[in-house]
Amino acid sequence: MKITLKDGSIREYSEPKSVIEIAKDISEGLARVACAGEVNGERVDLRTVISEDCALSILTFEDKGGRDTFRHTASHIMAQAIKRLYPNVKLAIGPSIDDGFYYDIDSDEPVTAEHVEAIEAEMKKIVKEALPLERFELPREEAIRFFEEKNEPYKVELIRDLPEDAVISLYRQGEFTDLCAGPHLMSTKPVKAIKLTRLAGAYWRGNEKNKMLTRIYGTAYPKASELEAYLTMLEEAKKRDHRKIGKEMGLFMFAEEGPGFPFFLPKGMVLKNTLMEYWREIHDREGYVEISTPVILNRKLWETSGHWDHYKENMYTTVIDDEDYAIKPMNCPGGMLVYKSQPRSYRDLPLRMGEIGLVHRHEKSGALHGLMRVRCFNQDDAHIFMTPDQIRDEIKGVVSLIDEVYQLFGFDYFVELSTRPENSMGTDEEWEMATNGLRDALEDMGLEYKVNEGDGAFYGPKIDFHLVDAIGRTWQCGTIQLDFQLPQRFEAEYIGPDGEPHRPIMIHRVCFGSIERFIGILTEHFEGKFPTWLAPVQVKVLPISDKYGDYAHKVYATLKAAGIRTEIDERSEKIGYKIREARNERVPYMLVVGQKEEEAGLVSVRSRFLGDEGQKDLSEFIAAVKQEIATRERREEEAK
C-alpha cells in the first residue's frame, strides 16, 4: 500500500494503517497535534483505517480542515455540557464556523449569561475527563427511534429528511451521543482553551416561519495563549465596530422602515464620493469606460443570464404591465446588453467597461450586520470583453490594479483560486480552460495562492482577494471571475481578423466589492481615523474665544477656498474641551486661533499624527495639507 503525503513523499505499508498510526510513523510531534486526516481530498477521523493506495494529508489546527474538526468537537462538548446541566433542552445543530463554533438549542426558559457561565465551566470538566469520541452507525429507522426516545425532535426531523436506505452516522462521548457525519478529534482532551462568547437568536433551518432557537457561540484553541490573543482581538474589534464609529462620526444610519437598507449622512456621502472619485481616476487611467445600467430589468434577461434559475431566491421581483421583472442583484447582464448594443471588432478588444451599480439582494434578517451585510449596495463592477489570447494580460492587469488599491489603504492580502462548484453551467473543457487561464496568470506574476475547491461562481472560476486588516481579521473583497458562459448565453460576438464572427471571453471583477461593505471595513481598519485625503472633515478651526471669531472665519474661508474640507467650532466652550471633541471626531488637523495667532497672522496646528505641531503660516500649512491629500499619504498616528 502506497501513501502519498502532502509534500509528495511516499510511504509504503504491507498492512492497513489508521491515519493516527501513519502520523506517528511520520513523527511523534505530528501525532500529538494531529486533528484529522484528508484522504483523497475527503476529511476523515484519525482512527480511519487506510487499506489501499491514496493521497493523505495529516491536518493540524494550523490547517482549516483540522481547525474545523477541532472546533466541531468543541461544539459537541458544549452540547454534552448543556444536556448534563439542563436535560430538558432540545438540541438542533452545532457546526464549526470560521472563528469558532455554535450550537442551536430549544430551551423552555431564556438563556442568560449565568447559564452560559455554567455551561462553560461544565465544558472544562468534560475536557479534563478526556472522553474518547467513538463513531458508530445505525439504520435510518433505528436512528429515528434512538432520538425519539431521547426526546430530540430536531434530530429526528434531520434524519427523516435523509433517504430511507441511508445509514446514519453518530458520535458517542461518555454518556452523550449526537447525530453527526464527523470527523472529530479522538478525545475531548486536546480542547484545552474554551470560551463561550455570545448569545443570539436563530430560526430553525434558517426559515423565518420556523421556531426561534437560542444560538450559543464559542471558540476553542489548543493553547490558552492563542485563546487570549483571540479574546484581545475581539475587544479591539468592539472598539473598532463600524456601527458604533459610524454613529459617532455621523457617517450612516439605518431605520426600521428599511431593515438592511443603509442611509448615508452628509459626512458619509463625502467619504463614499471620495472613494468613488478615486475609483474613477484609476479606472480612467487604465483604459476603462464607465457605463450605467437600469436597476430593474425583465424576467427574460435573467432567464438568459441564468440568474432566474440559479439565484432567484436572492432576488426581489415585481410585475410591470403583467410582465415579471427583477431588481438586479448583479450588474453583469446589463453589461452584456451594452456590449451587444453595437457591432464589435477584434480591434475594439479588450473592451473594459466599469460600472458602480446599485444592486439589491434578499438577505435574511438574521444575517444583516451594519454595512457588512446589507440588502442594497453599490458594487464597483467592471466587465472586460477580450479574445482568448488576451486572457493572461488582462487578468494580470486587474491583479496589478487591485494590488495598487489595497496597498494604498495599507492592507496585506492573500489570494485564493476558487474552482468549479456543483451548481454550475458549461462543459468540462470550458471550465478547464477558464481555470487554467486564471492559474497561469497568477503563476506568471509569481503570486502565491491557495486553491478553494468548489467555491467558484456558477458561471466560472474566480480569484478572490482576502484583505488582512489592522487587527489581523480577514475580509474577502476583490474578485476576478473568468466567464465563458454569459457571452454564449447572450450570443455576444466580435468580428475577427478573418472576417468571421467569434465569441468574446468575459472577465467580471471588483476591487472594493460592495462600496458600503468596504467603507465598513475601512472604518474598522482605521478605527475611524481615515487618512487625510479620505477624512470627511480634514481640518477643524478652533477659536479660543468669541473674540477671535472673525479671524477664525477668515482662516476657515481660506481653507475652504483651497478645497480643504473644513469645519469651525464656534461654541462658547474652553479650548481644551474643543480639542478633545475634535480628537474624538477623529479630525486629522485642528487649527487653534487666539490673540497670538491673530496678531502674527499664524495658526497653531495640532494633529492626530504628532500632537502639537506648533505655530505655522496658514499658506504653508495649506500647501502641506494639499500635498498630503494629492499624494493620498497615510501619516502614522502619534503613540497612544
User: Could you list the active site residues?
Assistant: 332, 361, 379, 381, 383, 462, 508
Residue 127, CB-side half-sphere exposure with 13 Å CA sphere: 21
| Residue 27: its H or E element | none
328 neighbors 357 (Cβ within 8 angstroms):
yes
- Do the beta carbons of residue 374 and residue 527 sit within 8 Å? no
Compute φ and ψ for 419, nearest 5 degrees: -100, -170
What values do phi and psi take at 308, rounded to 5? -60, -35
Cα separation, 374 vs 520, whole angstroms: 11
Say if residue 183 is preceded by a cis peptide, omega within 30 of 0. yes
Candidates 186, 13, 180, 4; CA nearest to 101 is 180
Strand ranges in 40-165 using DSSP code E only, listed in sequence order: 42-44, 49-50, 54-60, 90-91, 96-97, 100-106, 134-139
Q: How far is CA 614 from the centre of its chain?
A: 43
The one-character DSSP state at 130 is: T
Q: Beta 501-502 vs 505-514: how paired, if at all?
A: unpaired
What letter does residue 305 receive in the DSSP assignment? H
Cα separation values, 283 from 287, 511, 574, Å: 6, 11, 47
Name the CA dihedral angle for 360, 364, 370, 373, rounded to a multiple of 10 degrees.
Answer: -60
Amino acid at residue number 458 = F
**Cα–Cα distance for residue pair 592/607, rounded to 1 Å:** 11
What single letter denotes the amino acid at residue 334? G
Q: In 262-301, at which residue ranges do the beta strands (DSSP E only) sit? A: 263-264, 289-290, 296-298
Are β-strands 54-60 and 34-39 bridged in parallel, bridged antiparallel, or unpaired? Answer: antiparallel
User: Rounded to an integer, what distance in angstroms lies between the CA atom of residue 412 and that of residue 271?
Assistant: 22
Query: Which backbone phi and psi does 33 adopt, to 5 degrees?
Result: -105, 0
Name residue 514's amino acid: S
